[in-house]
Amino acid sequence: MLDVLIAGAGPVGLWLAAELRLHGVEVAVVERRAAPDGRSRAVGMQAGTLDTFATRGLAQRFIERGTPVPTGHFGAATTRLDFSTVGAVHPFMLALGQSVTEQLLEEHAVAVGAQVLRGQEVVSLTQSPDAVEVVIRAGGTHRTVRARWVVGCDGTRSAVRQAAGIDFPGQDTTLTGWLADIELDDPLTAPLAATGPAGSFLAAPIGDGVHRLAGLSTATMHRGTGEPLTLEEVREQTRTLLGRDLGIRNPRWLSRYGNATRQAARYRAGRVLVAGDAAHMFFPAGGQGMNLGIQDATNLGWKLAATLQDRAPDGLLDSYDTERRPAARAVIDNTRAQLALFAAASPEQIALREVWSAALAEPQTNRQWARRIAGFDDPVSADTTPGAHPLNGTRLAGLALDAADAPTAHPLMHHGRPLLLDLGGTRTPCLADGVEQRAVTVNTEAAHAIWRDVTAVLIRPDARIAWAGTDTDPQRRAADCLTALRTLCR
C-alpha cells in the first residue's frame, strides 16, 4: 500500500511529491496526460516561490532558465510594483514558461524517489478508516490502488475533489480576457502596459524570443472562453489597446480566460486532501495561481509526512485547511480588485484606476502590495500567547546572517526539518531529535528593526516562524522554544 497517491503532475503535485520524499514518504503521482504539456501557461514565478525553492537548494536551477523581471503590476494601475523592496533573497519575478517549471520539478521529484505515472487518471475513490481505494484508468483498463492518503492536485475540474464530495462553490465566468504567447518583429526589452477606455493591455518577454501578450477589451470581454482566439483578433486587439501591433507573428499559444472564481468548501475530507487549482480558482491577475499552489504544497508536505509517521501533534494536519484557506481567500479578493481595474470603462471606474495608481506611488503602499503579490504577507492566525513576538506566524524572508557558509537561513533548511537559530550568543540547549540547530548572528546592518531584540527563532519546514524569543537566559529560552516545538512535532 502506498503512503500517498497524488493526482496531477503539474507544479503543485510534483512539488508536493518531492516534499513528501524529503521525509521518506512513499509517493506516486498519476497524471492523465500521456506526455508533458508544452504550453507556457503560468509564466510568472514570484519571489515567494523562489524563496521556497531556495530552502531546498533549487532556486538557481529555475533562475538559470528564466528571465528576472524587477517589477510587477496590480491590475491596470499605471504605477508598477517594485519587487526590490520585498526583502526576499531573490527580489524579482521570474518569467519562465510552466512547461519548463514542470520539467525541472519532475526531474527533482524523480531524483528524490517519487514515481510519476503518465496516461493514468483517477476515476473514483472509496475511503475506509485506514486507507483510500482509488480506481485508476490507464488506456482501456482499470486498476485499484490502495493508499493511506490521497491528494488531489488535478486542477479546477478535479476528479479527486468531486469523488471525495468536496463542494466547490463560487462564481461562473462573467468576463473574459485573452492571452497570446507569440513572437514579435518589434521585440520588447521590458514589460509594456497600456490602459484606456477600450480596455487594458500587458506585454512582457518570457524567454526564447517569445512574448506573453494579455488584454481585456471592453468590446470583446463578454465573448465565451470557448470561442476560438485568432491571430488576426490578437493583432486587432493589440492595435486598439496599444496603438500598434508590434509585428505579431508565429503564435505559440492563443487562449481566452475568464473570471470564474471558486474555492473548495474544505481542503480535507477524511483521508483525501486538495491543493492548488483543485482547491481554488480565480482570475489570473498578477501571476499568483501557481505560486499560491506551491505554497499549499509546501504547507501540506511536512504536516502530512508527520501525520503518516506518527510525529504530528493533534490538529497539525487540520491546520493545513485553517492556514491555507484564508491565504487563498486573500488572493481571490485581490484578483477581483485587479479585474475591476482591468475592466474599467466608465468615467468613475477609470478615475478609480487613476487614484489607485497614485496610491501605489507611495513607497509604503507599493511595498505592501509588492510583498503580497510576491507571495509574502498572506493572512496568518494571530498568536494570542501572552508576550508573543510579532514575528510569530510570519514567513521568513531574506534574513541576513553573519555566516560565510549560510548568508541566509535558506542553506540551513535543505533537510526540510524545523530549524532553531540561536541568535543570542549563548547557545540554546538542543531540544529534540529531528530539529536542526545552529548558533548564528544576524547581520544587524541588513536586519529589519523587528529582529534586533530576537535571541532565538524556531522556523517551520515551510519557512514560517513558529516562535521568536527575546529572553537572554538560555534555560528559559529553551523552555519557551520547547513549548512552540510541541505545536510542530512530538
Task: Please say if the pLDDT value at position 397 is more than 90.
Answer: no
How far apart are alpha carbons 58 and 43 in whole angstroms? 18
Written in H, E and C, the secondary structure of 212-248 is EEEEEECCCCCCCCCCCCCHHHHHHHHHHHHCCCCCE
Calculate what percentage of the chain has a pLDDT beyond 90: 75
Task: Please tell me the class of the 381-490 domain.
Answer: alpha beta
Residues 157-166 have a mean pLDDT of 98
Are 155 and 11 spatial neighbours (Cβ–Cβ below 8 Å)? no
Taking only the tens place, the pLDDT of each residue in 257-314 is: 999 999 999 999 999 999 999 999 999 998 899 999 999 999 999 999 999 999 999 9
How far apart are alpha carbons 9 and 15 in whole angstroms? 9
CATH T-level topology, domain 2-171+261-374: FAD/NAD(P)-binding domain (3.50.50)
Nearest to 464 by CA among 321, 299, 305, 314: 299
User: Does residue 484 sit in helix, strand or coil?
Assistant: helix
**In the prediction, which pLDDT does 45 show?**
96
DSSP state, 410? G
Please give the grid coordinates belonging to residue 349: 471606474
Are 113 and 21 spatial neighbours (Cβ–Cβ below 8 Å)? yes
Q: Using 50, 70 and 90 to split pLDDT, how confident is the model at 380? A: confident
Are 16 and 151 spatial neighbours (Cβ–Cβ below 8 Å)? yes
Nearest to 399 by CA among 472, 436, 437, 454: 454
Task: Please say if the pLDDT value at position 51 is more than 90.
Answer: yes
DSSP 400-430: -BS-SS-SSSGGGGTT-S-EEEE-SSSPPPP
Please give the grid coordinates belonging to residue 106: 519532475
DSSP state, 185? S
Task: Please say if the pLDDT value at position 445 is more than 90.
Answer: no
Of the segments 204-208, 209-213, 363-367, which one has the largest average pLDDT value?
363-367
Question: For 187-201, 349-363, 460-474, which range has the lowest pLDDT when averaged over its residues?
Answer: 187-201
Within 8 A by CB and 6+ apart from 118, the residues are 9, 31, 33, 34, 35
Task: Please tell me the class of the 176-258 domain.
Answer: alpha beta
Distances in Å between the Cα of 20 and the Cα atoms of 13, 80, 156, 190, 456 are 11, 37, 23, 38, 28
**In the prediction, which pLDDT does 430 show?**
62
Tell me whether domains 176-258 and 381-490 share a fold: no
Residues 140-149 have a mean pLDDT of 96
pTM of the model: 0.95
Mean pLDDT of all residues belonging to the chain: 93
- Can you say how many angstroms the Cα of residue 192 is from the centroid of all Cα atoms in its chain? 24
Number of H helices, E strands in the chain: 11, 25
User: Does residue 423 sit in helix, strand or coil?
Assistant: coil
Task: Name which residue leads in pLDDT, 164 or 380.
Answer: 164
Determine if residue 155 is left, alpha or beta; phi over 0 gives left, psi from -120 to 50 gives alpha, anything else beta.
Answer: left
**Cell 493572512 belongs to residue:** 379
β-strands 456-459, 199-207 pairing: unpaired
Taking only the tens place, the pLDDT of each residue in 79-105 is: 999 999 999 999 999 999 999 999 999
Residue type (1 letter), 52: T
Q: Using 50, 70 and 90 to split pLDDT, how confident is the model at 452? A: confident
β-strands 44-45, 93-95 pairing: antiparallel
Q: Where are the domains of the chain?
A: 2-171+261-374, 176-258, 381-490
**In the prediction, which pLDDT does 490 show?**
79
Calculate what percentage of the chain has a pLDDT beyond 70: 98
Taking only the tens place, the pLDDT of each residue in 223-261 is: 999 999 999 999 999 999 888 889 999 999 999 999 999
Residues 173-187 have a mean pLDDT of 93
Within 8 A by CB and 6+ apart from 109, the residues are 14, 15, 17, 18, 21, 29, 116
DSSP state, 80? P
Task: Please say if the pLDDT value at position 442 is more than 90.
Answer: no
**Cell 540561536 belongs to residue:** 422
Residues 359-380 have a mean pLDDT of 95
Taking only the tens place, the pLDDT of each residue in 399-436 is: 889 888 889 999 999 999 999 998 876 666 666 677 88
